[in-house]
Structure 1
Amino acid sequence: MKHLILFASLLFVFAGCSSKEYFEPENTAGDYELTKSKALSGSISYFNKDGATLDSQDIITKRGVSKFKIPEGYKFLNIIDDTVIASNYKDKVLVGDKEVKVDAVVVAASLNNNKLALLFSDNSIMLYDMNTEKTLLKEYYTHSFVNDTRIANPYFMSNIILFPTLDGKIIVVSDSTNKIVRNIVVDANGQFNNIIFLDVVDDTLVAATANKVISVGQGIVNLKDYNVRDIITKDKNIYIATIDGQIIKTDISLNIVDRRKYKFAKIYSLAYGESLYALESQGYLIKVSKDFKTDAIYELDFDNEKKVIALGDTIYYNDEFIKLK
């Protein structure tokens, strides 16, 4: 009887595995000019939405591969002008060549003049004066035990500071008074509801969790439900890749301009060269025309077991990268 139960269980497992569906385009346009790929000095060991750390301690930013090395044990968080911010994920944050002891794990950070905005792993936020070495603001929020690995950095916007949290909020702080003036709830209920994306487009705040996308501008709040695989902005448009294989183009008010659906596609990341690109898990690179009327699907050999990041018009994968046209 035990053997029969085991056999039935194995049949169930194998049946489940065999029923998995994968993205299989009918036609492809061949390889995507792999001769133009270039080698990295190492493999990606850690990444967020703004860059990555290689196992060589070199870093990748939105400007490309940097010759700047961060010290052993640190991971890249952000770059502001020419100042690199990194965390040792214990008790220190590195701001340029200055080490700041904070006695907690910093997971996101940004800098404007002498003000350092920090988000900690316990979901607290802090505003710190680099000149006086004093804390200007410290606030605690609901602890989040499970987070998407993509954690957005704080954002300095004219006279306010935007702090993304790990429990689906954006805390708005006055830059002049260093006090909280508003809380924006993006996603209160999702299991993975930390803010994974934060940008400002034409004075409109655009943010996302893995479950929601929000835009806030001119006193108007737009909130839409999406199961987000990746999200980027380009000019005055927002591009969203979803779990069900859709690539959606919206305006900054989240009105849908156009969309395309790729059955069973699992999209890792979006990038924008002269056109929109989507990297798909089975080794395909989908190129979508600006007007969303046509596409081309290329083959791109990469190891989907390893970390992949797209920044601007460049995709970094395995231990190499390729600039998109």
Structure 2
Amino acid sequence: MRKILSLLLVISTALLLLSGCNSRKSFEPEQTSSASSAISKTGKEAVAIMRDGVTFSDGSYLTRSGMGSVKLPQGFHYVNQSSRYVLAADDTGKILILDRKSGKVVKEGKLDFPLISATIRGNNIYYVSQDNVFGVYSIPANKVKISAKVGRAYAVDTRIANPMPYQGIVVVPILDGKLLLISPSNPKAARGMAIGDSYNLNNIIYLHSLGSRIIAATPNKLISAAPGAMHKFEAPIADVTIAGGKIYLLTGDGRVLKLSPSLKVLAERKFPYAQFTAIAVVGGKVYALDRSGALIVMDPSLKKSRIYDVGEVDNYAFVAGSRLYKDDEVINLSALGY
């Protein structure tokens, strides 16, 4: 599965970069500052990279909050966690549920297809597996309660978003560009919301809540859905984050945007030929990383900026708390200003 996902990631990244410019030119800032004092080595090799986690060869893993609390067995990668459990999976469909405090394996299970994304809510795991199968797995019973193929998806962008709890329901992004709205009390009566409009590379790559709104993105579209209203912003999406009630967006054509919850453009900055890969908002500063290694630090209005050279991104870039992990390095974002 990792080989398949890696190939799809290469394909989707290439498409994203091609959509952003018509040549092979790269972003070349006139002046950069050194970030060496903010960079240290991790000494870790990434073996699995997902939207919300990175697993290393020694069994440790990263979440959006920082390093994980337990070590995963060889061959398993991090998927998601709750306050009680850590969920891990392998390439064959096996899943492990570990106690988050002790690290001991609580349950072992097997799905028909390898796990793609999941969330733990109470004693159930709401998941999507390869071949676009949605399911509900009971932790106490250690078995699948519901499993159903929910649509066709021929190729996916591997920045696959995990399901999320939202106002008493579970929102599950499936691989053909739809959201399933699941009531835990009656998961068979799912409602659907279409976001993407194609079977190819239109899955949900970002999913978050903002007040009463659901913020979701496919590789080509950002949406903000609230009761009775839906707003959309079409662009090649490189990365998205939410901070201070605002949405910050990187596009494949070199733009950094600050949007309102209803997706009104509040500020915009263009960096010609930039091939953005990660965005973060830390301590009131906006950080945008270009694949060439240019880390742009901006104020919230996107007017003031300073560019640091942090080295080319070869494998992955992942924001965890106030730190940016890149290949075998970690960058303390709080130490860099504009």
TM-score norm. by structure 1 comes to 0.89
Q: Is the counterpart of residue 189 in structure 1 residue 192 in structure 2? A: no
RMSD: 1.6
Cα deviation for residue 107 of structure 1 reads 0.8
Partner of 2:115: 106
Q: Residue type of the partner of 1:301?
A: G
Kept in 2: contact 1:190–1:211 (CA 8 A): no
Q: Is the counterpart of residue 243 in structure 1 residue 238 in structure 2? A: no
Kept in 2: contact 1:160–1:172 (CA 8 A): yes
Q: 1:312 to 1:218 in 2, by over 3 A?
A: farther
SS at match of 1:180: coil
Aligned counterparts of 2:142 and 2:81: Cα–Cα separation in 1: 20
Q: 1:310 to 1:219 in 2, by over 3 A?
A: same
Q: Is the counterpart of residue 311 in structure 1 residue 320 in structure 2? A: yes
Q: 1:299 aligns with which of 301, 309, 322?
A: 309
Q: For this pair of structures, how many residues does the alignment match? A: 304
| Residues 178-226 of structure 1, C-alpha deviations (whole Å, 9 max, x = no match) | 2334211001126311111111111211111101111111321112211
Extract unaligned runs of 5+ from structure 1: 1-18
Q: Residue type of the partner of 2:29?
A: P
Cα deviation for residue 133 of structure 1 reads 3.5
Cα deviation for residue 67 of structure 1 reads 4.8
Q: 2:164 aligns with which of 155, 159, 165?
A: 155
Cα deviation for residue 169 of structure 1 reads 0.4
- More displaced stretch, 157-166 vs 96-105: 96-105
SS at match of 1:146: coil
Cα deviation for residue 312 of structure 1 reads 3.6
| Residues 10-51 of structure 1, C-alpha deviations (whole Å, 9 max, x = no match) | xxxxxxxxx6311111222x112x223233241222212211
TM-score norm. by structure 2 comes to 0.85
SS at match of 1:68: coil
Q: 1:290 aligns with which of 300, 316, 319?
A: 300
Cα deviation for residue 145 of structure 1 reads 2.6
Extract unaligned runs of 5+ from structure 2: 1-22, 99-104
Aligned counterparts of 2:233 and 2:148: Cα–Cα separation in 1: 28
Segments ≥4 residues shifted beyond 4 Å: none
Q: 1:118 to 1:224 in 2, by over 3 A?
A: same
Q: 2:70 aligns with which of 68, 71, 74?
A: 68
Q: Is the counterpart of residue 36 in structure 1 residue 38 in structure 2? A: yes
SS at match of 1:254: coil
SS at match of 2:165: strand
Aligned counterparts of 1:234 and 1:82: Cα–Cα separation in 2: 27
Kept in 1: contact 2:152–2:199 (CA 8 A): no
SS at match of 2:70: strand
Aligned counterparts of 2:94 and 2:256: Cα–Cα separation in 1: 39
Kept in 1: contact 2:77–2:89 (CA 8 A): yes
Partner of 1:26: 30
| Residues 79-104 of structure 1, C-alpha deviations (whole Å, 9 max, x = no match) | 22252211112121112122122232
SS at match of 1:69: coil
**What are the within-5 Å matches in structure 2 for residues 68-147 of structure 1?**
68-96=70-98, 97=105, 98-147=107-156
Kept in 2: contact 1:288–1:295 (CA 8 A): yes
Q: Residue type of the partner of 1:280?
A: D
| Residues 91-139 of structure 1, C-alpha deviations (whole Å, 9 max, x = no match) | 2111212212223211111101111101011101001221233544322
